[in-house]
Amino acid sequence: MRKVILDVDTGVDDALAIAYATASPEVELLGVTTTYGMAPAECSARNTLLVLEQLKCDVPVFRGAEQPLIRTRQYSGTFHGTDGLGNVVRSEPKRAASGMHAVDFIIEQVRKHGRDLTLVTTAPLTNLALAIQKAPDIVGRIGRVVTMGGAVATPGNVTKFAEANIIIDPHAAQKVFSSELPITLVGLDVTRKTVLRQEEVERWREKNTPCSTFFADFTKYYIQAYKVNHPYLKGCALHDPLAVGIAVHPELVNMVPMYIEVDLEEDALGRTTEDLRRKSPGGPNTNVCMEVDAERFVSRFLSRIDQAFSR
Ligand code: BDR
Ligand code: CA
């Protein structure tokens, strides 16, 4: 079993990633840390608590950064709705987030578990950047960081170069990738190939439990947005669930070791490319996922989501 912290901005596919993690026997979920991103920080913390409540999972939730390190940002709501969950949320969670800050929780857990800990991030990298700024020692202690973000050899999804989680806080991403953290980068190169279709979501609706109906409602919104913006995909990309999948089943992907550089110039802001000039004795610190066995991943994802809904 792998000790895991999920750092999320819940977000439809973050919610799917949380469900997948809670139904994965390989994962011991220590906590979920939240930040702003696909919705304001307030919404993403509330959504995380609501999703965990529906999944009957009481792992602690820790609120973190509420804005990027430097730039301010506009949130469009196109893919996830203005509340992050397809504008379907009608209630408040019964439970509150912990009083501890997400950044302090990450630091505490890395110091406690060291190599046994994997941090999976599916959000802008602000919490992690603040954690390494506050406690640089965690860089050499943590087992692995698996990050959904970036687009190395494929176009972006916000600009022609940049992926959402990177461009929302490019300075945080630059800090993270220029550190010596051991990173697995799960970017659009692979996540766009793992697709969830509406037919599967209809099966969740037929299950007719409060949890499966909630998930079916907000995922329908997301698939509808994909239909308008990326009709060729015939469904929605499972960006964030794939990061959880790779954390426990790295054999699903082919990875290439690289140093990653994050562009901060305005005309290529948030672009993630290989930095050929950087050198270090241990070699490149980032494994970039370039190919994925999408069929195997999606079928495992679907069967685990079924289990998550049957609790
Ligand atoms: C990333 O941005 C958000 O839309 C998703 O939740 C995912 O983390 C994909 O670019
Ligand atoms: Ca996300």
Q: Which ligand is nearest to the CA of 149?
A: 1
pLDDT in tens, 81-91: 999 999 999 99
Cis peptide before 11, with omega less than 30 degrees from 0? Answer: yes
| pLDDT less than 50: residues of the chain | none
- Please state, in angstroms and rounded to a whole number, the distance separating the CA atoms of residues 28 and 6: 11
Structure tokens at 36: 């702003």
The CATH code belonging to domain 2-309 is 3.90.245.10
- pLDDT score recorded for residue 76: 79
pTM: 0.97
- pLDDT score recorded for residue 75: 78
Q: What residues line ligand 1, using a CB cutoff of 6 Å?
A: 11, 13-14, 38, 79, 122, 148, 157, 163-165, 239-240
The length of the chain is 311
Position in ligand 1 atom list of the atom nearest CA 188: 10
Q: What is the DSSP letter of 76?
A: -
Sign of the Cα pseudo-torsion (221, 222, 227, 233, in order): negative
Q: Is 239 a catalytic residue?
A: yes
**Residue 217: enclosing H or E segment and its boundaries?**
helix 210-229
